[in-house]
Structure 1
Amino acid sequence: MKYLQVFVYGTLKPGEANYKSYCAEYLVDAFPATTNGLLYELPFGYPAMTRGDMNVHGFVLSFRNPEVLLDLDLLEDYHPERSQEENEYQRQKIDTFGLNGEYLCTVWSYLMLPEKVQLFGGKLLPSGFWTNH
């Protein structure tokens, strides 16, 4: 059976604010992973990731029910029929890697346009890690 997989790096990670409400009940598997990007701290208490060449650390979450994606889209203020500028995040397919650097899988994730990060006053997190607890 093929599961819906999503790379999360912020409030949807295990132990963070939105994990229990949006993920825990539907989760089949979760494992640490990295991806290529740039991670930013936003002043709203959550992060944003853009395309880039640094390591961003998070988790690949596997869900049995693909309908979870609709709830995540709402949380991330993403609607596929709106323009990129109208969405807060863009849902995109990205490659993920194990902690040893080996390719794992291509999954969904939510990225923010660099212009929006700048507008919101995002501060680069060179470590590639974000936590709010």
Structure 2
Amino acid sequence: MLTKSFNNALKSRQDSQTMTNLIHVFVYGTLKPGESNYQRYCQGRVIAQRPAVVQGKLYDLSLGYPGMVAGDGIVQGVILSFSDPNIFIDLDQLEDYQPHRPPEKNEYQRQQIPVFDLNHQPLGLVWAYLMDMTKVQVYSGVLIPDGCWKNRD
């Protein structure tokens, strides 16, 4: 699956960092274009966007948003590119992530992960918010088999 491309993605990290000074964030839930938090947090701030996939598993938390965990499945989403490094102030607040707080106190962890185009070719590393499986279980998360979340309200 994507595991074979993992090393290529890591090798392309330097290339992706030198190509642009933009901040690339993989979004898979309410921050996707057309979803509930896109307009508030991203509208007018996104320089570019691109459909993409990452390796992981996606869960519907029945709270109006999903949680992604590390895993061997495919999660579909969008790479949003920002020029303003202060974007993390707003996104971290939305995702209840504080870098200096103990991980178990955060809702999500912000991490760099390999990302792939829709043909599973490596694009490099992007930032993403991942949830711990323990939290998914606390929220009675239900696996989304196709890895594509849409607000079901």
TM range (shorter): over 0.9
In structure 2, runs of 5+ residues without a counterpart are: 1-19
2:48 equivalent to 1:39 = no
In structure 1, runs of 5+ residues without a counterpart are: none
* Alignment length (residue pairs): 133
Counterpart of 1:4 in structure 2 is: 23
Classify the secondary structure of the residue corresponding to 1:12: coil
Distance in 2 of aligned mates of 1:2 and 1:131: 30
Distance in 2 of aligned mates of 1:24 and 1:3: 16
2:68 equivalent to 1:49 = yes
User: Which residue among 81, 84, 92 is the counterpart of 2:100?
Assistant: 81
Distance in 2 of aligned mates of 1:122 and 1:84: 19
Shift, 1:24, TM fit: 1.4
Identity of counterpart residues, as a percentage? 51
Report the structure, 1 or 2, having the larger helix content: 2
Q: Which has the larger radius of gyration?
A: 2
**Paired residue type of 2:44:** E
TM-score by length of 2: 0.85
Report Cα offsets for 1:25-80 as digits up to 9, x if no partner. 11100000000000000021100000001110000000010101110000000001
Q: CA RMSD in A?
A: 0.8
Runs (4+) of structure 1 exceeding 4 A deviation are none
2:73 equivalent to 1:58 = no
User: Which residue among 37, 41, 49 is the counterpart of 1:30?
Assistant: 49
Distance in 1 of aligned mates of 2:45 and 2:124: 20
User: Which residue among 122, 134, 137 is the counterpart of 1:118?
Assistant: 137
